[in-house]
Structure 1
Amino acid sequence: MKTLIIGSKGFIGTHCFNHFIKQGHKVYGCDVVVDYTAKNYFLVDATNANYQDVFEKEKFDVCINCSGAANVQDSIANPQRDFQLNTVNVFSLLNAIKTHNPECKFINLSSAAVYGHPERLPVQENQALQPISPYGFHKKYAEEICLQFNSQFNIKTCSLRIFSAYGPGLKKQLFWDLYKKIEKTDTIELFGTGEESRDFIYIDDLVIAIEKVIKSAQFKGEYINVASGKELMIKDVSTIFIEIVNKTKSIRFNKKQKPGDPKNWVADISVLSSFGFLPNYNLNQGLTNYIKWIKNEKL
């Protein structure tokens, strides 16, 4: 199978690239990072990517879009940039596929941010979308573009609503911030009350989920939750993290809510499970691997 990874130098993209190479795919990468040594690699402009060129030169069986901005606070500070990277780029990709490679399956990595504050938990794919940040709205628009290209042009599309992904290679978000603060202070201050909850999925499980989707999804513009299906409170996962690092630290929650952050998330993963997906890593295993990576990299 010939597979193109858009955003192949990013956190999820790198893991996808390596995984599908191991699975025997002929994998091509595409990103904004200059790499003179990479084979089967397309360099594009960050804010004006020419995907017509990419699909004119090569034809693919699958295109996985791991690109885009993934920061809620940045989307509030610079919504136009976020719109370009998370919405306009998806349109550009699909337009190029329609023109040059209409048989290519397109997987768009969306986000749980499209749900905002869910009306009920665990959140199902058919629940009302109520995004509370520019990032969430832009991901929602991208999903609608995928649905439009399927219904009007028969392009095979599927959007994956990724919940809280973590693992080696990630240099932001809760666990990264925790590690950096552990190194600097005895009392760690975190946003919120600690009662907030998330559904964490380890990166190796995430790429397996994508593989299952390629094999089993209908590709009719549908959206699928990608998560572990387990709700964990931030105060609990923070304590587990500190225990694995083997440090004696205290945590103080400042009771301040970041704009655009929901309070509670956990996914209903019935659809993904029907494809044969079952998470292999619990939080302790995943965090142990992540912390080991940070220490080995001397970050």
Structure 2
Amino acid sequence: MTTVWITGGKGFIGRHLARLVSLRGERVCGIGHGLWPAAEAGKWGYTNWCNGEIEAVNLSQLARGSGVPDFVYHLAGGSSVGTSFQYPREDFCRSVDSTSRLLEWIRLNAPDAHMVCASSAAVYGAAFADPIPEHASLSPFSPYGSHKAMMEDLCRAYAENFGLHIVIVRLFSVYGAGLEKQLIWDLCSKLARGGDSSVVLGGTGEELRDWLHVSDAAALLWLARAECHESCHVVNGGTGIATSIREVARMVCEAWGGGASAEFSGIARVGDPPCLVADCTRAIRLGFKPGVMLAQGIHETVGWFKAGHKTCALPST
């Protein structure tokens, strides 16, 4: 049986990916922060879970329980632009140090494993107005983006110098039920506190983003493993569809009901590029096709929030 490891496996994307991989008949093992009872982890498809940092001792412990991996999905790392400005050293450790430790462990203990590394569109920066191809120049706009770019450089170095088989997936704006941060969560939280009235969001509202439902993100990560090579290919993780923050806010308010509305301060947020939209040519060649349209995904996410958002429901099979 194929053995798959997921770092950051208890996180938003990690849980959905684990579920998808397990449904395809592969053994799924994870490592990340947080105690996780076996029964609960098992609902998401995990057979082994290690609560801890990505360090050699923990990776070796996981290997003793599951065997060395055939595939490693590296999802652990910094996850917030804002936090990276507040705590840049911590963000560096989460994204860069953890990747270095993982790559070195794989080099020494599982050199035949194939690795899919989840990066971010934040590496591209703020200079684009059209869909961005993978070969575009990188100019990160935040510590978060800079650290993701460093992480990518490490992956390329280990692929080129040590023959590791790696692919990098630059995820754009991943969303869905279970994500307790970012625009949709923030807007729902403000609407819940404000009695369904008008709320004010930062920025102009004209910023363009490429919104990818978490189930589609998991599907693309699954497909991307076919691109693991010593040349360390890069694949954009998006839909290719540009949607303004204002339009997303409108859809959230519509799904919320009660005449809710959103306004914008007009003040650009620190580290917030005006346009991040993917050129999805490579993803399409892999056979990727988004399955959840934005309006549907927002409706489901708002419904989850209003239902109490105590837990993220398992995806349907």
Q: Give the 5 Å matches for 1:1-299.
A: 1-37=2-38, 38=41, 39-45=47-53, 50-54=57-61, 56-57=63-64, 58-185=67-194, 186-218=197-229, 220-298=231-309
Instruction: Give the structure 1 partner of residue 313 of structure 2.
Output: none
Distance 1:270 1:218 in 2: 18
CA contact (8 A) 1:195 1:233 kept: yes
Distance 2:127 2:63 in 1: 41
CA contact (8 A) 1:123 1:268 kept: yes
Please report the RMSD computed on the Cα atoms of aligned residues, expressed in angstroms: 1.6
Distance 2:58 2:156 in 1: 19
Distance 2:57 2:257 in 1: 48
1:22 Cα deviation (Å)? 1.0
Question: TM-score of the superposition, structure 2-length normalised?
Answer: 0.90
1:53 counterpart letter in structure 2: S
1:117 Cα deviation (Å)? 0.9
Q: How many residues align?
A: 298
Give the match's secondary structure for 2:122.
helix
Give the match's secondary structure for 2:275.
coil
Distance 2:83 2:3 in 1: 34
CA contact (8 A) 1:51 1:93 kept: no
Distance 1:254 1:225 in 2: 31
Give percent identity, aligned residues only: 30
Distance 2:128 2:307 in 1: 42
2:27 counterpart letter in structure 1: K
CA contact (8 A) 2:116 2:228 kept: no
Distance 2:210 2:296 in 1: 15
Distance 1:298 1:132 in 2: 32
Distance 1:235 1:195 in 2: 6
Give the match's secondary structure for 2:262.
strand
Unaligned runs of 5+ in 2: 42-46, 311-317
Give the match's secondary structure for 1:3.
strand
CA contact (8 A) 1:55 1:100 kept: no
Unaligned runs of 5+ in 1: none
1:292 Cα deviation (Å)? 2.3
Question: TM-score of the superposition, structure 1-length normalised?
Answer: 0.95
CA change 1:217–1:56 in 2 (3 A) is closer
